[in-house]
Amino acid sequence: MSKTKIRFACQECGHDSPKWLGRCPGCGAWNSMVEEVVAKQPAARAAARSLPAARPLPITAVDTAGLPRISTGIAEFDRVLGGGIVPGSLVLLGGDPGIGKSTLLLQVAGGIGAGCGRVLYVSGEESAAQTRLRAERLGKMSDNLLVMTETNLEEILDQAGAIAPAMVVVDSIQTMFSPDLPSAPGSVGQVRESTGRLLRFAKESGIPVVIIGHVTKDGNIAGPRLLEHMVDVVLYFEGERSYAFRVLRAMKNRFGATTESGLFSMEEDGLAQVENPSALLLAERPQGAPGSVVLACLEGARPLLIEIQALVSTTCFGMPRRMAAGFDYNRLILLMAVLEKRVGLALGNQDAYVNAVGGIRTDEPAADLAVCLALVASFRNLAIDPGTAVMGEVGLTGEVRMISRVDLRVREAAALGFKRVVVPSGNLAGLKTRPAGLEIIGASNVMEAMEAVMT
């Protein structure tokens, strides 16, 4: 009899080693190596080899007419996917626990079931009764929504092949297991094998499959990075649990762009689409408050106006504090150094707090100018005109550098009734949008921007 082979696989990155290691040499995680039994030849792989081989043909002869996108009935979800779900695709949805992944996919399943046929919803974490309770709360009760509580991948694929649904939802991939592998569900080998089997099923049957993936403490999808390379689309559902807003982003999309994003609001009856997020985010903006500035940013390819608030006060301790919510902390430290050196503000003994209102996080450099003006306004206790929106990247010498898609930002500001926008002077020449009644001011450095909004 042959000796059983044992290996140790990292549950964070998938790196394997013949012996146990306290720290993974692949990703540096501690105590992440788990013992796994190496299978000789899984039956699934043997069956895959028995399939007829594909024949090469000219790319001009490939027929794409039979691949119409499937509309989910949720415009924001379709926008992120590029127009809908492509038949035969494998979509991976990740996000923090409790963010609303299962709620979103149950609403998607209900929408497809109402317009395209039966949908198979496989839950490995909840019972069928719990899934029904959520469906009743969401108002997605339908005979076309089939619920199955199972973790055995063989049973799931058999039922999916017999039913031939319009879409299959697997919640979640970490709970699935294949009997061909002796390792436990959620291990690297099981996650990799289960994803591979689902991918092969989707491509052979033409039925789209959407799977939910858990995330690690670093915010990455749990399991090996190979998992994200195997699927066609990788979606991340983000947001603060204490806020109502949720953002759906595409990190990978083989059938569309990754610049789109969808905005949702968590309500009592599920996730609702946010039609005009800028107006909603600015609804409670205080008028004439020092340290409040409106930023014209981009969420994917969508222009968004959000409020940036700053509070600067004299510290009571020897070391001043700096805190940022919705903005990069290291970027805040850099901008404060620029203001102290180039503008002459004495911020060495000042506490500074910056907040992007509404739980929206902005990481683009175009938010630099708004943060700088909010800090200056709070330090000098001056109020900036509430009808002014700003945008621009700030360099280490205090210059305001060019940013992308200024026309979209300007149009959004004009649509919401703003009277003045401050943009980098380098973007003025190529600006195609000049709405009537909107004053566009170019600033080449932070001092010019301050003079434009604080006089």
Detail the residues annotated as belonging to a binding site.
Answer: 95-102
Could you tell me if residue 209 is inside a domain? yes
Token duo for residue 54: 């594909």
Among the three residues 273, 294, 319, which one is the final residue of a domain in this structure?
273
Closest CA to 266 of 391, 153, 148, 101: 101
Say if residue 234 is in the same domain as residue 330.
no
Q: Is the pLDDT of residue 409 over 90?
A: yes
For residue 343, name the pLDDT band (cuts at 50, 70, 90).
very high
Say if residue 312 is in the same domain as residue 372.
yes
Detail the residues annotated as belonging to a binding site for ATP.
Answer: 95-102
Burial class (CB within 10 angstroms; exposed 0-12, middle 13-18, buried 19+) of 150: middle
Could you tell me if residue 57 is inside a domain? no
DSSP per-residue letters across 365-400: GGGHHHHHHHHHHHHHT-PPPTTEEE--EE-TTSBE
Say if residue 76 is in the same domain as residue 225.
yes
Q: What's residue 11's pLDDT?
A: 74
Say if residue 166 is in the same domain as residue 285.
no
Q: Is the pLDDT of residue 107 over 50?
A: yes
Contacts 24+ apart (CB under 8 A), 436-442: 438/410, 438/413, 438/414, 440/410
Q: What's residue 439's pLDDT?
A: 95
Q: What's residue 412's pLDDT?
A: 94
Q: Is the pLDDT of residue 47 over 60?
A: no
Rounded to whole angstroms, how far apart are CA atoms 187 and 193?
A: 10
Q: Is the pLDDT of residue 75 over 60?
A: yes
Say if residue 91 is in the same domain as residue 26.
no
Among the three residues 229, 252, 273, which one is the final residue of a domain in this structure?
273
Stated pTM of the model: 0.80
Q: Is the pLDDT of residue 37 over 70?
A: yes
Please count the other Cβ atoms lying within 10 Å of the Cβ belonging to residue 185.
18
Say if residue 247 is in the same domain as residue 351.
no
Q: Is the pLDDT of residue 62 over 80?
A: no
Closest CA to 116 of 63, 155, 168, 170: 168
Averaged pLDDT for residues 383-405: 95
Say if residue 447 is in the same domain as residue 306.
yes
Token duo for residue 210: 């959407």
How high does pLDDT run on average in the chain? 88
Could you tell me if residue 46 is inside a domain? no
Q: What's residue 221's pLDDT?
A: 67
Q: What's residue 356's pLDDT?
A: 94
Cβ(374)–Cβ(293) below 8 Å: yes
Could you tell me if residue 6 is inside a domain? yes
Say if residue 200 is in the same domain as residue 234.
yes
Residue 236 belongs to domain spanning: 70-273
Say if residue 201 is in the same domain as residue 288.
no
Say if residue 130 is in the same domain as residue 37.
no
Say if residue 25 is in the same domain as residue 166.
no
Number of H helices, E strands in the chain: 12, 21
Q: What's residue 168's pLDDT?
A: 97
For residue 455, name the pLDDT band (cuts at 50, 70, 90).
low
pLDDT digits (tens, 9 = 90+) for 115-147: 889 999 999 999 999 999 999 999 999 999 999
Could you tell me if residue 53 is inside a domain? no
Q: What's residue 57's pLDDT?
A: 84
Kindly report which listed range (78-92, 256-270, 440-454) carries the lowest average pLDDT score. Answer: 256-270
Among the three residues 208, 241, 273, which one is the final residue of a domain in this structure?
273
pLDDT digits (tens, 9 = 90+) for 3-15: 667 888 887 777 8
Averaged pLDDT for residues 409-422: 95
For residue 214, name the pLDDT band (cuts at 50, 70, 90).
confident
Rounded to whole angstroms, how far apart are CA atoms 115 and 104?
A: 17
Could you tell me if residue 143 is inside a domain? yes
pLDDT digits (tens, 9 = 90+) for 272-320: 998 888 988 898 888 889 999 999 999 888 899 999 999 999 998 888 9
Could you tell me if residue 49 is inside a domain? no
Q: What is the tally of structural domains in the chain?
A: 3
Say if residue 100 is in the same domain as residue 202.
yes
For residue 55, name the pLDDT band (cuts at 50, 70, 90).
confident
Amino acid at 447: M
Q: What's residue 219's pLDDT?
A: 62
Neighbouring C-alpha atoms within 13 Å toward the C-beta of 415: 15
Could you tell me if residue 214 is inside a domain? yes
List the CATH number of the domain containing 388.
3.30.230.10
Kindly report which listed range (8-12, 228-232, 357-361) carries the lowest average pLDDT score. Answer: 8-12
